[in-house]
Chains A and B, each alone.
Chain A
Amino acid sequence: MHELLEGLLLPSFGNEALLERHDGATLNISGAKLAFTTDSYVVRPLFFPGGDIGTLAIHGTVNDLAMCGARPLYLSLALILEEGLPMETLRRVVESMRASAAVANVQLVTGDTKVVDQGKGDGIFINTAGIGAIEHGISISPRNVRPGDAILLSGDIGRHGIAIMATREGLSFENAIASDCATLWEPVKALLDAGVEVHCLRDLTRGGLSSALIEIAESAGVRCAINEAGIRVREEVAGACEVLGLDPLYLANEGRFVAFVPEQEAERAVVILRNVDVSSEATCLGQVVNGPAGLVTLRTQLGTERMVDMLSGEQLPRIC
């Protein structure tokens, strides 16, 4: 994906907004500052503990806007339905989208529906695009990340990845692990309302915490030095990772983000985040330091330091 972006898409379409490599584009239109983003949702299974493809399609796009520091306002919705999809399934997904949009306080204002032949789709594919209003004067972008910045993490990691994998593979754990799928505008708004000088925000989706940090370290030309002690993983997620040989740093999340703020604002920002439900377990994860560009290092609890690498392909369960 990373290679596709750098090797094909950016060279083909490169423009100022796109080259920011941010979750959404920041645009000035007739004096109004807007954020614009789009995302497509293909997930198997369609339903999983804690959410479904509908909740993902709303929260995912809302969160991309929030990561631009924009108040999410309007979404478009495009449905690609496979012939033979039970109407009841579609109703459930639409109801999830309605409920999620209500929570996120966004309106679906335009849309499209296409039907493809049986076998040509995976039940439902969804695309949503979103527009949000940027109502503050701060520039939130990887290029504003600088040595000395504190890296904050909004909560425990890995729940969405394990929830999906457990449902997909029919793995049962003593306690079902629910996805962390949630809207992230509220904690971002809290930071901005309090006047925290946010340098960059990034939600942790596919590729997990490690990919988010590596991408920002690459874009900003810095090194991210993080502490294992700042990473929270629910006991049941940690257990599933132990059994399957997976690393929580690479697991997908749908309701977590990292924030880069000036060092002197870190403590205050963590307190602000902890006052919001979805980020009540926020921690200070580490610090931005001088190069090498693109490197993420992790100080283990034993006091040693190792690099955190970009994953080559999907994480695969080990043999024994």
Chain B
Amino acid sequence: MKYVDEYRDPEAAQQYLAAIRGIVTRPWTIMEICGGQTHSIVKYGIDELLPNEITLAHGPGCPVCVTPVEVIDKALQIAAQPNVIFCSFGDMLRVPGSIHPANANGSDLFSVKAAGGDVRIVYSPMDAVKIAQQNPDKRVVFFAVGFETTAPANAMSVHYAKQNRVSNYSVLVSHVLVPPAMEAILASPTNCVQGFLAAGHVCTVMGYTEYQPIAAKYRVPIVVTGFEPLDLLQGIYMCLLQLEQGRCEVENQYSRSVRREGNQPAQQLVAKVFRVVNRKWRGIGEISHSGLGLTADYADFDAELRFGLSQYRAQEDSECISGLIMQGAKKPQACTAYDNRCTPDHPLGAPMVSSEGACAAYYRYRRLRNKNLVEGSGV
């Protein structure tokens, strides 16, 4: 398939691996930001092809994983109400909320749906607006989560609803931003990350100038990288070359999609509809100026205000170490609950159910192999 097959070519992969082996002289830890990159790495076994000197740390870029449990609880409460159609990207439906008295219908959106709630999977927030227009007697809520990648489409849905007076449409917002999370990781006293593969899709929207101050301040190379195996190998090579040469610049591997200035009309729309706010990240905690909320002009479309949901702090399972996993400090197998008390059918934390979660990637592609082959009889 065009634009895919050529980025999975085995011979070209071997050439990049040889180039990587040719320049590495000492141990380095490189973090891939995006959960999509993590899944590609684990699915294709890219980390296993790399020389031992290179450790890949999996980053916080899984939108499902970082959505705070309190927001999941709010989604569950709204979705269970009568005359509500709750629309969401499919990935959010299996994410567990907290054990909270308000969640009488169960702990995820699938359970709410099974108990009779009208929960619908949509592919675009504009589909949710359409559902609102087709059902004027219902309150239609879209679960607006994600990084900078999904923000423009979510902003567009709110902007369109305001322009066209779709007054029964609202959004439950939990948007997060990548650069503040990178800074939080780098500022941590236990940080071990020496270079970053920035998320190609996020930078397609935002460009990469906002990463330059981070590279300079913390003296880390940042390479904007795509998602296919060859993208990742080339991104790792570029990052490694900078590390070995003592450089700390922002470079763009994913130039077939990313421009320096990004998609400016999309950025303008996001800036019109959203403002930067402090946000809590599930498992990590609050990070200053790390999220988006609706601006005053669009506050009428805020589902939290419309449904009058109260703020509270939820208890999470204390055994789940998703915060450490998403900051690259631990690998999923290091969790005592992994593959016993925490599985995709009975998750303790979101990284086990999200298609971009690191725990799900290890569970799906390596679980039995690690147990039976690597430690046992060998492949």
> A residues near B, CB below 8 A?
169, 171, 235, 238-239, 242, 244-245, 290-292, 294-295, 297, 300-307, 309, 312-313, 316-320
Contact A302 B8 (CB under 8 A): yes
Residues from chain A with a CB closer than 8 A to the CB of B369 are 295, 297, 305-307
Known: A242-B1, A302-B8, A319-B89. 17 other contacts (CB 8 A): A238-B1, A292-B372, A300-B43, A302-B45, A302-B229, A305-B369, A306-B42, A306-B365, A307-B368, A309-B367, A316-B91, A316-B355, A318-B89, A318-B355, A319-B91, A320-B149, A320-B150
Residue-wise interface mask of B (229-248) relative to A, using a CB-CB cutoff of 8 A (1 in contact, 0 not) = 10000000000000000000
Interface residue ranges of B12-65 to A (CB < 8 Å): 13, 36, 42-46, 48-49, 63-64
Contact A318 B90 (CB under 8 A): yes
| Residues A303 and B63 in contact in the complex (CB < 8 Å), given A312-B345, A318-B89 | no
Residues from chain B with a CB closer than 8 A to the CB of A301 are 8, 10
B178 to chain A, nearest CB (A): 12
Residues from chain A with a CB closer than 8 A to the CB of B367 are 307, 309
The list of the 6 closest CB pairs from A to B, nearest first, reads: A304-B45, A316-B90, A312-B344, A292-B372, A306-B365, A320-B149
Residue of B whose beta carbon sits closest to that of A170: B127
Residues from chain A with a CB closer than 8 A to the CB of B43 are 300, 306
Q: How far is the CA of A320 from the CA of B48 in the complex (A)?
A: 26
Q: How far is the CA of A317 from the CA of B44 in the complex (A)?
A: 20
Contact B63 A319 (CB under 8 A): yes
Residues from chain B with a CB closer than 8 A to the CB of A317 are 89-91, 121, 123
Q: How far is the CA of A245 from the CA of B90 in the complex (A)?
A: 11
Residue-wise interface mask of B (129-147) relative to A, using a CB-CB cutoff of 8 A (1 in contact, 0 not) = 0000000000000000111
Residue of B whose beta carbon sits closest to that of A294: B368
Contact B121 A320 (CB under 8 A): no
Contact of B220 with A by CB under 8 A: no
Contact of B379 with A by CB under 8 A: yes
Contact B368 A295 (CB under 8 A): yes
Q: How far is the CA of A108 from the CA of B371 in the complex (A)?
A: 50
Residue of A whose beta carbon sits closest to that of B344: A312
Residues from chain A with a CB closer than 8 A to the CB of B282 are none
14 contacts between A and B (CB under 8 A): A235-B1, A238-B4, A239-B1, A242-B1, A295-B368, A302-B46, A303-B10, A303-B49, A304-B46, A306-B45, A306-B365, A306-B369, A309-B365, A317-B121
Residues from chain B with a CB closer than 8 A to the CB of A242 are 1, 4
A184 to chain B, nearest CB (A): 27
Residues from chain B with a CB closer than 8 A to the CB of A297 are 369, 373, 379
Contact B121 A316 (CB under 8 A): yes
| Residues A318 and B91 in contact in the complex (CB < 8 Å), given A301-B10, A304-B49, A305-B379 | yes
Contact B123 A309 (CB under 8 A): no
B363 to chain A, nearest CB (A): 7
B156 to chain A, nearest CB (A): 15
B227 to chain A, nearest CB (A): 10
Residues from chain A with a CB closer than 8 A to the CB of B147 are 320
Residue of B whose beta carbon sits closest to that of A290: B377
Residues from chain A with a CB closer than 8 A to the CB of B64 are 319
Q: How far is the CA of A318 from the CA of B10 in the complex (A)?
A: 27
Contact of B356 with A by CB under 8 A: yes
Contact of B364 with A by CB under 8 A: yes
Residues from chain A with a CB closer than 8 A to the CB of B91 are 316-319
Residue of B whose beta carbon sits closest to that of A171: B123
Interface residue ranges of B73-96 to A (CB < 8 Å): 89-94
Contact A302 B94 (CB under 8 A): no
Q: How far is the CA of A244 from the CA of B46 in the complex (A)?
A: 23
Contact A319 B356 (CB under 8 A): yes
Contact of B272 with A by CB under 8 A: no
Q: How far is the CA of A244 from the CA of B145 in the complex (A)?
A: 17
| Residues A292 and B368 in contact in the complex (CB < 8 Å), given A302-B13, A317-B90, A317-B123 | yes
Residue of B whose beta carbon sits closest to that of A318: B355
Q: How far is the CA of A303 from the CA of B45 in the complex (A)?
A: 9
| Residues A319 and B146 in contact in the complex (CB < 8 Å), given A292-B372, A306-B366, A312-B344 | yes
Residues from chain A with a CB closer than 8 A to the CB of B363 are 309
Residues from chain B with a CB closer than 8 A to the CB of A319 are 63-64, 89, 91-92, 145-146, 150, 356
Contact of B201 with A by CB under 8 A: yes
Contact B1 A304 (CB under 8 A): no
A170 to chain B, nearest CB (A): 9
Residues from chain B with a CB closer than 8 A to the CB of A171 are 123
B135 to chain A, nearest CB (A): 16
Residues from chain B with a CB closer than 8 A to the CB of A239 are 1
Q: How far is the CA of A320 from the CA of B44 in the complex (A)?
A: 20
Residues from chain A with a CB closer than 8 A to the CB of B110 are 313
Residues from chain A with a CB closer than 8 A to the CB of B63 are 319-320
Residue of B whose beta carbon sits closest to that of A306: B365
Residues from chain A with a CB closer than 8 A to the CB of B149 are 320
